[in-house]
Amino acid sequence: MNTKNILVSFLAIVSVLFLVATISAAEITGTIDVTINSIDVETDNIAVIAGETITVKVYFTSDVNASDVRVKAEIEGDKIDVDDRTVSFDIEDGKRYSKTLTLKIPFELRDEVSEDLSLNIQIWNGDHKTEREDITLRVQRPTYKADIKSISMSNSVEAGETMPVDIVLKNIGYNDLDDLYVTAVIPALGISQTSYFGDLVSIEDSDDDDDTISGRLYLKVPYDAEAGIYTLEIEVENDDLVHSEIRQVIIKNDLSESVIVTNDVATVGVGENAEFNLLIVNPTNKLKVYRVITESSGSLSSSASQTVVAVTAGSSKTVTVTANANSAGVYTFNVNVLSGDELVSSVALKADVEGKTSVTNSIVVLTIVLIVVFLVLLVVLIVLISKKPEKAEDFGESYY
């Protein structure tokens, strides 16, 4: 019995020694040294700012020869875990290594201006692993930080309409925020509005909802804004911070085309006038003056009934363009409509001129006239020739 107990004890001791040897063999390194933003975690209590990106450097001396080794740094949050890891590399026994990783500190502070999070480091491959856990990081709120909690607006708006934009702000910084201004701007249209939102206290001093504020801004979209997708920028600022976010808004404009052609093709004869009607629409809220410029070239000449057209706000006017050609052919010409120096529209018109040239027509007309004159003269001549002369009066024989 004693021999059996001794044997069992011996096997147990051997198993423990084997297990220890196995565990020892599983370690890549005995010590992992870590710095955060160049600060040694052994000598200092590390404080970081929520939302910022930190640099984690890991130093170790290898106790083994190994391939496909990786290093990972991880921060465990209440809701979000963030980590970064290196690519695979090889290590040799007795050599010292350094690896750099970056982590974005999660923003999970609720009712406190700061709290502790844990940083964990791991070095491993398929056969070996060494860990260093629970490196304490003190996470603080940014000194000054306003969060745009919501931007409420319509996804689309018609040109000429006023678009309301509702903003909700929350102070998520360490300190109070004084004299906050909010600006809404659509840079491509050159429109903006700025409003004073007031003060926001920090979460530490907050009672109920006085760390949150809301307001409304109005943007007047121009009548002549072209239809499309535009970028809306919301900017929050005071003496201590500037923070901005962007949104997309669709602007619709059924009257974005200011020139409407009622007929762009006309068929006429040589020397006849081809007429085209252009409807010039002013979709803005003010009087606009347009210039109409027609093109002429070669055998074609063109003109407009009005070269300067004043169109009142929200109305339209019709301009007649006349084209004339002295030879047959198909003529395409442009009519340009300008507002000031800006080209509003360029319209292509086509005149299909049929028949012979005007010179030929003139000869034909002249020939016909001469024939008519000749025929008239011939008739007169015939009438004169065919008319009999009157007989002389016979007074009889006279005797003396």
58 and 128 assigned to the same domain: yes
In a domain, 338, yes or no: yes
CATH number at residue 172: 2.60.40.10
Quick one: pLDDT band at residue 6, thresholds 50, 70, 90?
A: low
In a domain, 366, yes or no: no
In a domain, 390, yes or no: no
Range of the domain at 231: 146-252
191 and 276 assigned to the same domain: no
So what's the pLDDT on residue 339? Answer: 85
235 and 278 assigned to the same domain: no
131 and 86 assigned to the same domain: yes
So what's the pLDDT on residue 356? Answer: 60
Question: What is the mean predicted confidence (pLDDT) over 150-160?
Answer: 91
Alpha carbons 196 and 186: distance in angstroms, whole number: 19
Whether 1 has a pLDDT exceeding 70, the answer reads no
Whether 285 has a pLDDT exceeding 70, the answer reads yes
In a domain, 397, yes or no: no
Question: What is the mean predicted confidence (pLDDT) over 377-400?
Answer: 60
Can you tell me which residue has the tokens 């002249």? 366
32 and 135 assigned to the same domain: yes
Quick one: pLDDT band at residue 120, thresholds 50, 70, 90?
A: very high
187 and 300 assigned to the same domain: no
Given 119, 140, 161, which residue is the final one in a domain? 140
So what's the pLDDT on residue 327? Answer: 87
Average pLDDT for the chain: 84
So what's the pLDDT on residue 5? Answer: 54
In a domain, 201, yes or no: yes
So what's the pLDDT on residue 207? Answer: 62
Given 252, 284, 308, which residue is the final one in a domain? 252
Given 89, 111, 140, which residue is the final one in a domain? 140
110 and 37 assigned to the same domain: yes
Quick one: pLDDT band at residue 131, thresholds 50, 70, 90?
A: very high
- Give this prediction's pTM: 0.57
Whether 367 has a pLDDT exceeding 80, the answer reads no
164 and 87 assigned to the same domain: no
In a domain, 392, yes or no: no
CATH number at residue 341: 2.60.40.2310
Question: Number of folded domains in the chain?
Answer: 3
Report whether 245 contacts 275 (CB < 8 A): no
185 and 241 assigned to the same domain: yes
In a domain, 302, yes or no: yes
Lowest-confidence range among 81-85, 94-98, 135-139, 253-257? 253-257
